[in-house]
Amino acid sequence: MHNLGHTRSSNRRDHLLLTPDTFIRTPLPSLTGGLAIVHVAPQVGAAFTQMTVEFEPKGTLTQGTTQRLIYVIEGELTLDEPGKAEPHTLVSGGYAYFPTDYPHTLTAVTKARVAVIDKPFLPLDPADQEALEVPYPWFLIGREPEIPATALNGDEDLHVRALLPDSITFDFACNTMTYAPGAALSQVEVHYMEHGLLMLEGGGIYRLGDSWYPTSAGDFIWMAPYCPQWFGAIGKKPAKYLIYKDFNRHTL
């Protein structure tokens, strides 16, 4: 059937909704045997880049120019890091954080899809930094299902898992949020932080600015600073998303 020029994707001043039918795949330096879908980048006004990298078996991704967080959506990969004889194995829900200039090679064992978030690091003021036991962010590897869940504002139907440690040295946060069917954010949020959001499971209605969008697994959303936002989960399965936000820094 011909494409009739219809899509749920939308590009507005303070938000982007990108649905899989509009994804464009591109090669990237430091990526072999795979292609990247660049969901959001400074070109649209964001202060970070988020992409989904799709690997063929044996495809590789090496270090970029900034700090990086990776989250495995599906497939199996190995991760080599300096000074380690044995590589780590990562499968769905596995993630890693690399500080700026931390050498790493991710190699796909099977076909795999990985969310990649790259952000130039914003250092703390020297005085704030000195007060910390560990002054700079450190390499991390983990499994999202093993992170203890917190009920958002005491709502047991809305679970948050924080992938990064609770330390002011990190300049962004990346969490998963899991909504039981029918659960919703308890307020419309309007805040100075921006978000990159990848819908991992289920779906619902996302309010972005003055628009309400049906959203489901596979969709990507960027929310600019101060974009009014709200989500309610719909359907019989939980809705789950991976969400980035800039964090722990003054605005000036």
Q: Where along the sequence are the contacts to Mn ion (CB under 5 A)?
A: 189
- Nearest residue to ligand UGY, by Cβ distance, number only: 229
Site for ligand UGY in 134-193 (CB under 6 A): 177, 189
CB of 113 or CB of 245, closer to ligand UGY: 245
Residues 6+ apart with CB under 8 A from 143: 93, 94, 95
Q: How far is the CB of 44 from ligand UGY (least distance, A)?
A: 18
By the rule CB under 6 A, 229 interacts with ligand UGY = yes
CB of 178 or CB of 229, closer to ligand UGY: 229
Q: How far is the CB of 189 from Mn ion (least distance, A)?
A: 4
CB of 69 or CB of 177, closer to ligand UGY: 177
243: partner contacted, choices Mn ion, ligand UGY, none (Cβ within 5-8 A by kind): ligand UGY
Residues 6+ apart with CB under 8 A from 53: 28, 31, 34, 35, 36, 37, 61, 113, 114, 116
Kindly list the distances between the CA atom of residue 104 and the CA atoms of 109, 110, 188, 233, in Å, as whole numbers in the listed order.
Answer: 16, 19, 39, 37
Site for ligand UGY in 193-212 (CB under 6 A): 195
Q: Please say whether the beta carbons of 132 and 208 come within 8 A.
A: no
Residue 189 per-residue DSSP state: B
CB of 112 or CB of 208, closer to ligand UGY: 208
Report how far residue 39's alpha carbon sits from residue 44's, in angstroms, rounded to the nearest whole number: 10
> What 3-state class would DSSP assign to 155?
coil
CB of 90 or CB of 177, closer to ligand UGY: 177
Provide the binding-site residues for ligand UGY, judged by CB under 6 A: 177, 189, 195, 229, 231, 243, 245
